[in-house]
């Protein structure tokens, strides 16, 4: 029988979790962590498939290259680490082996150059039909800075960087043929919170952190499960410019979702804004009962909200 994406991952995490970990943290966070003494290395991988993650007709090759890097650096930032190196594997259809891949590499290069990330390996193959891109991202941070999904505490403020829902509204615009709305442009040119991730990593008041790749409705559940807690989210507080469903259930925002010690929240938000220009908005609170509750002006919401899953 076909399984859901999450139960498939849960099953392999269980089976392979029984094997030796060899010093690496097991499946379950944005990156695995390897203790290096004073510092830790963080490592993760993400794949982008043509017609699933991008449409060649709707994004330029440069945009796909830049985005392929950013979605991977986002997972490093989500650990509170600084991205240092990537490996890039490409499976290229006949139609993309010339000009297209050159454009792709220009976009990828631009991102690597902007953030001082080294490209240190990969693989190149032909593909019969669609382009497939896989990146392994490696980052580094002082061990004490690493932020895990498992560190949320009851009473913490749940908060997000930036604004949510823009990317998924952009995807809808693109589907309707509107490639140049502000949201469509934001969707095509993903931007990871690299500077903010490192900044928040240095901040002791930040407890759990992850990136928002599948929508808060789905992503908050990872923090709840890993931390053994619940959450109450106030829909009217979510920083959204479009329908609230984009902001809660739409994917690919690449903002950071984190929990902060309640008494420190105001100070952290103010300092983050002062140092990076990025807003941090409180959207809810961590609770003890392991349930996820959506409120609208303090009253339980009727909306059915579920994040994105591949299957």
Closer Cβ to ligand ADP, 46 or 196, answer by number: 46
The encoded tokens of residue 170 equal 């952009």
The CB-of-130 to Mg ion minimum distance in angstroms stands at 23
Closer Cβ to ligand ADP, 212 or 235, answer by number: 212
The CB-of-230 to ligand ADP minimum distance in angstroms stands at 19
* 252 binds Mg ion, rule: CB under 5 A: no
- Radius of gyration in angstroms for the set of CA atoms belonging to the chain, rounded to a whole number: 19
Closer Cβ to Mg ion, 233 or 256, answer by number: 256
Task: Choose the contact partner of 29 out of Mg ion, ligand ADP, none; CB within 5 to 8 A by kind.
Answer: ligand ADP
**Nearest CA-CA partner of 147 in 70, 110, 202, 71:** 202
Interface pattern 213-242 for Mg ion (x via CB under 5 A): x-----------------------------
Ranked by CB distance to Mg ion, the top (closest) residue is 30
Q: Are 306 and 249 in contact (CB under 8 A)?
A: yes
The encoded tokens of residue 99 equal 């000009």
Task: Choose the contact partner of 252 out of Mg ion, ligand ADP, none; CB within 5 to 8 A by kind.
Answer: none
The CB-of-6 to ligand ADP minimum distance in angstroms stands at 8
Closer Cβ to ligand ADP, 29 or 156, answer by number: 29
Q: Are 168 and 102 in contact (CB under 8 A)?
A: no
Q: Are 224 and 259 in contact (CB under 8 A)?
A: no
The CB-of-219 to Mg ion minimum distance in angstroms stands at 8
Closer Cβ to Mg ion, 139 or 184, answer by number: 139
The CB-of-111 to Mg ion minimum distance in angstroms stands at 17
For residues 195-214, which are near Mg ion according to CB under 5 A? Answer: 211, 213
Give the range of 28-36, 128-136, 174-182, 272-280 binding Mg ion by CB under 5 A: 28-36
Task: Choose the contact partner of 239 out of Mg ion, ligand ADP, none; CB within 5 to 8 A by kind.
Answer: none
**Nearest CA-CA partner of 192 in 61, 299, 302, 83:** 83
CA distance 285 to 293: 10
For residues 61-100, which are near Mg ion according to CB under 5 A? Answer: 75
Task: Choose the contact partner of 12 out of Mg ion, ligand ADP, none; CB within 5 to 8 A by kind.
Answer: ligand ADP
Q: Are 83 and 71 in contact (CB under 8 A)?
A: no
Per CB under 6 A, residues contacting ligand ADP are 9, 12, 27-30, 46, 75, 213
**From candidates 25, 29, 30, 255, binder to Mg ion by CB under 5 A:** 30
The CB-of-221 to Mg ion minimum distance in angstroms stands at 13
The encoded tokens of residue 129 equal 């039909």
Residue ranges binding Mg ion (CB under 5 A): 30, 75, 211, 213
């Amino acid at each position: 029988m076909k399984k859901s994406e999450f139960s498939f991952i849960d099953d392999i995490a269980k089976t392979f979790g029984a094997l030796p970990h060899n010093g690496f943290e097991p499946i379950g966070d944005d990156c695995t962590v390897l203790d290096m003494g004073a510092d830790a290395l963080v490592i993760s991988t993400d794949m982008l498939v043509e017609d699933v993650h991008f449409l060649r007709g709707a994004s330029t090759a440069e945009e796909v290259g830049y985005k392929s890097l950013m979605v991977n650096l986002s997972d490093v930032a989500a650990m509170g680490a600084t991205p240092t190196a990537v490996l890039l594997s490409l499976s290229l259809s006949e139609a993309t082996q010339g000009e297209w891949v050159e454009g792709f590499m220009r976009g990828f290069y631009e991102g690597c150059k902007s953030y001082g990330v080294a490209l240190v390996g990969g693989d190149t193959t032909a593909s019969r039909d669609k382009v497939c891109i896989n990146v392994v991202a490696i980052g580094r941070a002082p061990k004490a800075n690493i932020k895990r999904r498992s560190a949320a505490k009851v009473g913490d403020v749940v908060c997000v960087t930036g604004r949510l829902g823009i990317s998924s509204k952009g995807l809808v615009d693109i589907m309707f043929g509107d490639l140049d709305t502000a949201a469509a442009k934001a969707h095509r040119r993903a931007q990871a919170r690299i500077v903010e991730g490192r900044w928040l990593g240095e901040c002791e008041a930040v407890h759990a952190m992850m990136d928002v790749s599948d929508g808060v409705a789905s992503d908050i559940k990872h923090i709840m499960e890993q931390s053994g807690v619940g959450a109450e989210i106030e829909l009217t507080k979510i920083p959204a410019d479009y329908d609230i469903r984009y902001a809660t259930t739409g994917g690919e925002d690449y903002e950071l979702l984190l929990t902060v010690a309640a008494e420190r929240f105001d100070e952290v938000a103010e300092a983050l804004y002062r140092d990076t220009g990025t807003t941090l908005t409180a959207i809810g609170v961590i609770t003890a009962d392991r349930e996820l509750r959506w409120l609208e002006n303090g009253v339980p919401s009727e909306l059915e909200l579920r994040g994105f899953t591949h299957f």
